[in-house]
Structure 1
Amino acid sequence: MKIQEIREIIKLMDQSTLDEFVFEAEGTKLKLKKHNGETRPTVHTSAQPQEQPAAVVTPKTDAPKVEAAPAEPIEKQESTSSEASSSYKTITSPMVGTFYSSSSPEADSYVKVGDRVNADTIVCIVEAMKLFNEIEAEIEGEIAEIHVKDGQLVEYGQPLFSIK
């Protein structure tokens, strides 16, 4: 889990009415609790991966505890392009949300197939809970394929772009 993702979760937690949030995946456990109106993160990492990641949400009210079902692992989608090879790298979605290829409906797409990108090039926006998160390439190369359409819902870890 990247520090940017943890910061995003903390911001969302501060803005919510939740009192406690627990997230476990791939040997990492993130537990957030609100004390006196502030959120304190606790991150634990273990050497053994967890078999069934789960999220537990505890609202401030006296409502019953809400538990999310264990998430199924996201299978890697194979590219249908005949050009796909092991030299291609993939930019994946860092969160669940809505994919946007440009900053507004009238604006040009951040990138198109054939465009060169570097590590800090913004390639798209993923909107989650009314927050628009600019996604950077984090690698250098050329956009070989765009795997999602504008306005499409994306999952955490879902391939967005193939880079050669």
Structure 2
Amino acid sequence: MPEEKPTEPTNTPLDVQSIRHLVRLMKRYDLTAIDLIEGPTKIRLRRQGSEAAISGYTVAAPTPVYAAPPVAAPAAGPARTEAAPAAAAPSKDIVIESPMVGTYYASSSPDAPAFVSVGSAIRPDTTVCIIEAMKVFTDIPAGVTGTITEVLVKNGQSVEYGQPMFRVNPS
């Protein structure tokens, strides 16, 4: 009887065996994401139900800002408590987070203009940046409609999964 060899993935990028092989590698090396681009074919695999698995981006809800509890004043004076203005009206900005680990690039090449800047109007399909990981460049879509109010990372900076990159005022 011939000896069975483990099946290796074929050269067809969407071959089921290839995808299963990638999933096994993700489990073996405890990876949460793999992005593979081969010609016009793009494959993005995510594990454990992360938000990025569906959309390729993550949008975090705004976090309310809380004032510190009042500190007791010296016995000679009355106690004063004032809430910070930010605590009274939490920001309604949405944060666009990095869907992967890699290097952030604001434009497609060093001499090209940035995809977006403060004041840029964006739609869900607007490319806001490129993240490079292992020589693979991935366009990152905004995923929301609004206006960029703050860019939180610098060109060429390393970013982590879930790291805030942009603040957006939804419209």
Question: What's the TM-score, normalizing by structure 1?
Answer: 0.54
Question: What's the TM-score, normalizing by structure 2?
Answer: 0.51
3-state SS in 2 of match to 1:21: helix
Gapped regions of structure 1 (runs ≥ 5): 1-6, 31-40, 46-75
Paired residue for 2:100? 95
Q: 2:134 aligns with which of 129, 136, 154?
A: 129
- Percent of pairs identical after alignment? 42
Q: 1:144 aligns with which of 145, 149, 158?
A: 149
Q: 2:159 aligns with which of 146, 154, 160?
A: 154
- Partners of 1:127 and 1:144 in 2: CA distance: 24
Report the Cα offset of residue 78 of structure 1. 9.7
Code of the residue aligned with 2:111 in structure 1: it is E
- Asked if 1 retains the 8 angstrom alpha-carbon contact of 2:64 and 2:90, the reply is no
- Asked if 2 retains the 8 angstrom alpha-carbon contact of 1:77 and 1:159, the reply is no
- Partners of 1:98 and 1:108 in 2: CA distance: 18
- Partners of 2:156 and 2:142 in 1: CA distance: 19
3-state SS in 1 of match to 2:107: coil
- Asked if 2 retains the 8 angstrom alpha-carbon contact of 1:117 and 1:141, the reply is yes
- CA distances 1:51-79 after superposition (whole Å, capped 9, x unpaired): xxxxxxxxxxxxxxxxxxxxxxxxx9999
Is the radius of gyration larger for structure 1 or structure 2? 2
Report the Cα offset of residue 127 of structure 1. 0.3
Question: Hey, which of these two has a bigger chunk of helix by percent?
Answer: 2
- Asked if 2 retains the 8 angstrom alpha-carbon contact of 1:114 and 1:143, the reply is yes
Q: 1:85 to 1:145 in 2, by over 3 A?
A: farther
- The aligned length equals 106
- Partners of 1:130 and 1:92 in 2: CA distance: 21
Code of the residue aligned with 2:116 in structure 1: it is V
Q: 1:148 to 1:21 in 2, by over 3 A?
A: same
3-state SS in 2 of match to 1:112: coil
- Partners of 1:129 and 1:87 in 2: CA distance: 35
Paired residue for 1:65? none
- Asked if 2 retains the 8 angstrom alpha-carbon contact of 1:99 and 1:126, the reply is yes
Paired residue for 1:109? 114
Gapped regions of structure 2 (runs ≥ 5): 1-13, 34-44, 50-61, 66-84
Code of the residue aligned with 1:117 in structure 2: it is I
Report the Cα offset of residue 86 of structure 1. 3.0
3-state SS in 2 of match to 1:20: helix
- CA distances 1:19-77 after superposition (whole Å, capped 9, x unpaired): 7331487xxxx8xxxxxxxxxx89666xxxxxxxxxxxxxxxxxxxxxxxxxxxxxx99
- Partners of 1:155 and 1:86 in 2: CA distance: 24
